[in-house]
Amino acid sequence: MSGALYVIGTGPGNPEQMTPEARAAVDASTLFFGYAPYLDRLDLRPGQERHASDNREELARARAALDAALEGKTVCMVSGGDPGVFAMAAAVCEAIDADTARFGGVPLTIVPGISAMMAAAARLGAPLGNDFCAISLSDNLKPWNVIETRLRAAAGAGFAMAFYNPVSKARPWQLGKTFNILRETLPNSIPVVFARAVGRPDETIRTVPLSDAQPEMADMATCILIGNGYTRVIARDGQPDLVYTPRFVPEAGNG
Ligand code: SAH
């Protein structure tokens, strides 16, 4: 019997931000792989089996899911947010790439989801309303000097930015260094948004100018959005501030 592998994203945490397509993949599957807090977001029925694993075991998890699909199971790999953004879709592709003879024939469907930066941006207005990039600040899988090079290039080119994985116990100094690098070239007034646990009951959102941004304002559940030189903060009467980046860039400007 031929199995299949779905790779889905749950969205940032609010059940309404999980797509109907992802829910249909969950319904169709009998075996679930993923990091336990993401699996906890699913309402599984009796007979749907969970294989929770630790956050750092992505490649082994991907291989196990592909093996189960080869055995004929309909398998669902579960990420938070979108599965293609710093998540399991790439790990599954790496596992197939490393052993195409074994895994190349597994029917694979990647189901897109709402990524944290999108849910965070929607809370504020449109901070990513012009060109932007997303950078994971984790140096677990890439050297720190690559991250520094990318930060300087993005700041120099006028991109707004979304930072994922901003801090962890094992990475205590990287976010402070990141803010210092940005302060070398960006105006102090650029808004920095700390969007924590977006879409969950403990959501908090805080916007400060780059000059006041501190690493302690973020934790592992925070997505940080940085504007470009044209990003505006609009104070409104009785309504929360709007943060948005206009669609236009003046001639010869780079933000
Ligand atoms: N695939 C996920 C990202 C996984 S990396 C996505 O597309 O959203 C994990 C990082 O995502 C966290 O460190 C944090 O930076 C961000 N993140 C995930 N869920 C979030 C949420 N609800 N609110 C804010 N940031 C979140």
Q: Measure Cα distances from 153 to 158, 171, 229 in Å.
A: 9, 22, 15
Residue closest to 66 by CA, chosen among 22, 25, 31, 35: 31
Q: Is 77 within 8 Å of 61 (Cβ atoms)?
A: yes
Cα–ligand 1 centroid distance for 216 (angstroms): 17
Q: What is the mean pLDDT of the chain?
A: 96
Q: DSSP labels for 116-139? A: HHHHHHHHHEETTSSSEEEEE---
Atom of ligand 1 nearest to the CA of 165: 13
Per-residue pLDDT at 175 exceeds 90: yes
Question: In Å, how far are 17, 157, 161 from 253, measured between CA atoms?
Answer: 36, 10, 17
Structure tokens at 66: 């592909």
What tokens does 206 get? 């805080």
pLDDT at res. 254:
62
Contact 77/6 with Cβ under 8 angstroms?
yes
| Other CB atoms within 10 A of residue 220 CB | 14
CATH architecture label of 4-114: 3-Layer(aba) Sandwich (3.40)
List the domain boundaries for the chain: 4-114, 117-252
CA distance 127 to 205: 13
For the stretch 199-246, pLDDT in tens is 999 999 999 999 999 999 999 999 999 999 999 999 999 999 999 999
pTM: 0.96
Same fold, 4-114 and 117-252: no
In order, the DSSP letters of 11-42 are BSS-GGGS-HHHHHHHHH-SEEEEEHHHHTTS
C-alpha of 225 from chain center: 12
- For residue 151, what is the enclosing H or E element? helix 144-157
Provide the pLDDT confidence category of residue 53 given band limits of 50, 70 and 90.
Answer: confident
Is the pLDDT assigned to residue 56 strictly greater than 90? no
Q: What is the mean pLDDT of residues 167-183?
A: 96
What residues does ligand 1 touch, defined as CB less than 6 Å away? Answer: 9, 12-13, 79-82, 85-87, 115-116, 120, 164-166, 195-200, 220-223
What is the fold of 117-252? 3.30.950
Give the distance (Å) from ligand 1 centre to CA of residue 29. 24
Q: CA–CA separation, 105 vs 4, rounded Å? A: 10
Q: What is the dihedral of CA 202, 205, 210, 213, to 10 degrees?
A: -20
The set of residues, in sequence order, having a beta carbon less than 8 Å from that of 132 and lying 6+ positions away, is 159, 160, 161, 162, 245
For residue 164, give the ligand 1 atom closest to its CA: 15
Query: Rg (Cα) of the chain, in Å, rounded?
Result: 20
- Predicted pLDDT at 55: 73
Nearest-CA residue for ligand 1 atom 19 is 12
Instruction: State residue 2's pLDDT score.
Output: 79
CA distances from 134 to 65, 169, 236 (A): 27, 22, 29
- What letters, b where the CB count within 10 A reaches 16 and e where it falls short, cover 115-149? bbbbbbbbbbbbbbbbebebbbbbbeeeeeeebee
